[in-house]
Amino acid sequence: MTFRQRYSFLVFLDSFIVLTAVFVSSFFVNATIDVFTVPIIVSSLVLLVSHHAFALYYKLYKKAWEYASVGELIIILKAVTFSILITGVVQILMVQTAFLRLLAVTWMLHMLLIGGSRLCWRLFRDNVIKQDNSKKRTLIIGAGSAGMMVARQLLQNTDSELQPVAFIDDSPQKQNLDILGIPVVGGIHRIEKAAEELNIDNIVIAIPSLRKRQLNTIFQECAKTKAKTKILPMLEDLVTGKVSVSQFRDVQVEDLLGREPVELDITSISQYVEGKVILVTGAGGSIGSEICRQISKFNPEKLVLLGHGENSIFSAEIELKELFAHTGIKFYTEIADIQDAKKMIDVMEFHKPHVVYHAAAHKHVPLMQRNPEEAVKNNVMGTMNVARAASRAGVGKFVMISTDKAVNPTSVMGATKRLAEMFIQHMDTISSTTFVAVRFGNVLGSRGSVIPRFKAQIQKGGPVTVTHPDMVRYFMTIPEASRLVIQAGALARGGEIFVLDMGEPVKIVDLARNLIKLSGHTVEDIGIEFTGMRPGEKLYEELLGEDEVHKKQVFPKIYIGKTSDLYIAEIEEIIQTYEGLDIHTLRKKLLDVANGRVGHTELVTAG
């Protein structure tokens, strides 16, 4: 039906209703009354004209009545009441009195018939048209304002493939109630049973302010069903209008493993970043590029992206220039190898950075285990080159990105990062530059993370390979890790090893199971295969050694390690002799020094 046809139909319908209300009310008031007298006929015409006038004023004929709510009912009430009042005024002017009983009954019939005609279409649509067996039966978790908005939009949107059939909510006040005609069938513990009884195809988690741990609990219940689980967008995205309440997304592993966001000390960060020259090594990597994005939010004067891979650096530069085109930040790129000491000196002398974030490193444990000389060259010698060049150029702060694998290291990668930490702490004792290290565990979505590998294995139909059923790791999102690295830099006074609170450790096999379920498969379909631990791996990672622990946080989610012994002479000896050592000897030497197992000790105490 076109708008013109719909408009004409409503005008005709309302005209019929108005005249019917007048004559029927005349019969109810007095069955013997003559309705064809001049006052009654004039009153009827006045009521008809005034009704249409108010209907036009309140746009009554432009309303989509299939979506009618209380607001539309109030508009009908106003239009009918005002038209009755005008009719009463006309009657007083004509015969010096108003037919009050007649007007009262007419008003009631008028309201009933006008409102009823609109309600009938909505009831027809909601209870007849909307019944579409091709739609996916949907369980909505959360019967609050967000859940009701979701239900309303799904009911009103005829193009939606989802059909809400029930709510889940833990609130005792909502149990066994119907909301928008949809029953609340129980709390979180009822998800599995409700999904089975109601033949649910989809589950929508409609609680935007849900905490990560609560979301994880709910998802584990949803994972027991065969339904596909989706989630409402973030609350801030809904408030700012970036997305609508009906734009669901799949639950991501980051939703389950991430933590609550920490509030940064914007003032302290701005003081040492805004208007300054910042240099980031490894700027094309997952952590380095995210540090660049986060730093750019604080308006540095210049940001230098240094990396060995030209493609990744080029991509990072293009992205940053597009994201921050309005800021006036100058972005420079340097294709350079941190193993090239002269190049590092040239870059530092040319750009004169105020702050350096050193994220460049080899991080792959099995590869470094097989190639320990490359780990020495990149992680130890490369760090020494960048640090010495920074000190020579008068850099204000130098922040090195380290790893939890540097604690009581069992791998070459962890050992070389621990030696790099020692050298950084040593540099702080002999340089005017403030040197610090920031240590954290695995980051979700990084190139070395298990998650991309698991996803690829799931796409191929499995199995997902896990090294050991008891292996656990700490996880943090890349943005959160990068923000806390920047915050740690603002807190730095010199020589510290900052440790980021990684939250609760996660079993890798549980992570694999969650990813399989999030991909819409079952563990039975994909399968999980245990391959055995690789050389250098630990079952459990640590963030601080027993002799390093300061239990008090210096900032939310940031700890600081105690000072420790630095085996600088032994590190120098490794640098001088590593090329002549076989792989096994080099591995042993690295692990011995990193763990403090040295025979003749010439050490320096940090701080």
Q: Provide the residue type at 254 as one letter.
A: E
- What are the φ/ψ torsions at residue 334 (nearest 5 degrees)? -130, 115
What's the whole-number average pLDDT of the chain?
Answer: 83
| Of 473, 476, 385, nearest in space to 438 by CA | 476
**276-450+475-504+536-605 CATH:** 3.40.50.720
Alpha-carbon distances of 262 from 412, 483, 555, rounded to whole Å: 33, 9, 10
Tell me how far apart the alpha carbons of residues 286 and 478 are, in angstroms, rounded to a whole number.
7
Tell me how far apart the alpha carbons of residues 282 and 359 are, in angstroms, rounded to a whole number.
5
Which tokens go with 154?
């799904």
pLDDT confidence of 547, banded at 50, 70, 90? low
| Of 436, 453, 456, nearest in space to 444 by CA | 453
Task: Kindly list the domain boundaries of the chain, sorted by start residue.
Answer: 3-129, 136-251, 276-450+475-504+536-605
pLDDT confidence of 478, banded at 50, 70, 90? confident
CB 182 within 8 A of CB 166: yes
Q: pLDDT tens digit string along 522-542?
A: 888 889 999 888 777 777 766
Q: pLDDT tens digit string along 310-344?
A: 999 999 999 999 999 988 999 999 999 999 999 99
Tell me: pLDDT of 606 over 50: no
Helix 583-594 and helix 568-577: axis angle, to 10°? 170
Tell me how far apart the alpha carbons of residues 73 and 80 are, in angstroms, rounded to a whole number.
11
Residue with the larger pLDDT of the pair 407 and 282: 282
Predicted pLDDT at 374:
96
Residue with the larger pLDDT of the pair 105 and 289: 289
Q: Is the dihedral of CA 476, 477, 481, 487 positive or negative?
A: negative
| Of the listed ranges 7-16, 26-35, 209-218, 445-454, the one predicted with least confidence | 26-35
Tell me how far apart the alpha carbons of residues 604 and 426 are, in angstroms, rounded to a whole number.
7
Alpha-carbon distances of 345 from 352, 382, 386, 394, 419, rounded to whole Å: 10, 12, 8, 11, 21
Tell me: pLDDT of 98 over 50: yes
Q: Is the dihedral of CA 193, 199, 201, 203 positive or negative?
A: negative
pLDDT confidence of 605, banded at 50, 70, 90? very low
Tell me how far apart the alpha carbons of residues 6 and 14 are, in angstroms, rounded to a whole number.
12
Which contiguous run of DSSP H or E holds residue 500? strand 497-500
The residue assigned the tokens 């350079």 is 336
Question: Residue 532: left (phi > 0), alpha (psi -120 to 50), or beta?
Answer: left
Instruction: Give strand pairing partners of 356.
Output: 279, 398
Neighbours of 572 (CB within 10 A): 13
Tell me: pLDDT of 502 over 60: yes
573 CB-side CA count, 13 A = 14
The residue assigned the tokens 């905490």 is 211
pLDDT confidence of 308, banded at 50, 70, 90? very high
pLDDT confidence of 20, banded at 50, 70, 90? confident
Q: Is it true that the peptide bond before 353 is cis, omega within 30 degrees of 0? A: no
Q: Per-residue pLDDT averaged across 545-562, rounded?
A: 68
281 CB-side CA count, 13 A = 30
| Of 369, 361, 376, 363, nearest in space to 533 by CA | 369
Neighbours of 209 (CB within 10 A): 11
Tell me how far apart the alpha carbons of residues 454 and 159 are, in angstroms, rounded to a whole number.
35
Tell me how far apart the alpha carbons of residues 294 and 357 are, in angstroms, rounded to a whole number.
12
Q: pLDDT tens digit string along 509-525?
A: 888 888 888 777 788 88
Q: How far is CA 213 from the centre of its chain?
A: 14
Predicted pLDDT at 314:
96
User: Does domain 136-251 bear CATH number 3.20.20.140?
Assistant: no
Based on the number of CB atoms within 10 Å of its own CB, is 377 exposed (0-12), middle (13-18) or buried (19 or more)? buried
- What are the φ/ψ torsions at residue 2 (nearest 5 degrees)? -75, 165
**pTM given for the model:** 0.66
Q: Provide the residue type at 107 as one letter.
A: W
Q: pLDDT tens digit string along 208-259?
A: 777 777 888 898 898 888 888 888 765 545 444 544 545 677 777 767 765 5
Predicted pLDDT at 2:
63
Based on the number of CB atoms within 10 Å of its own CB, is 192 exposed (0-12), middle (13-18) or buried (19 or more)? middle
Tell me how far apart the alpha carbons of residues 300 and 320 are, in angstroms, rounded to a whole number.
13
Question: Residue 328: left (phi > 0), alpha (psi -120 to 50), or beta?
Answer: left
Tell me: pLDDT of 265 over 90: no
Q: Is the dihedral of CA 263, 265, 266, 269 positive or negative?
A: negative
Tell me how far apart the alpha carbons of residues 182 and 174 are, in angstroms, rounded to a whole number.
12
Residue with the larger pLDDT of the pair 445 and 395: 395
Neighbours of 217 (CB within 10 A): 14
| Of the listed ranges 106-110, 407-411, 599-603, the one predicted with least confidence | 599-603
Which contiguous run of DSSP H or E holds residue 330? strand 330-335
| Of the listed ranges 109-123, 235-249, 483-497, the one predicted with least confidence | 235-249
- What are the φ/ψ torsions at residue 585 (nearest 5 degrees)? -65, -40
pLDDT confidence of 552, banded at 50, 70, 90? low
The percent of residues in the chain predicted with pLDDT above 70, rounded, is 83
CB 154 within 8 A of CB 138: yes
The percent of residues in the chain predicted with pLDDT above 90, rounded, is 33
Tell me how far apart the alpha carbons of residues 125 and 571 are, in angstroms, rounded to a whole number.
78
Q: pLDDT tens digit string along 54-66?
A: 888 887 776 655 5
Based on the number of CB atoms within 10 Å of its own CB, is 241 exposed (0-12), middle (13-18) or buried (19 or more)? exposed
Tell me how far apart the alpha carbons of residues 567 and 562 are, in angstroms, rounded to a whole number.
16
DSSP class of residue 378? I
| Of the listed ranges 314-323, 363-372, 381-390, 435-444, the one predicted with least confidence | 435-444
Residue with the larger pLDDT of the pair 590 and 34: 590
Tell me how far apart the alpha carbons of residues 398 and 420 are, in angstroms, rounded to a whole number.
13
Alpha-carbon distances of 54 from 48, 184, 460, 544, rounded to whole Å: 10, 40, 65, 75
199 CB-side CA count, 13 A = 5
Q: Per-residue pLDDT averaged across 152-156, rounded?
A: 80
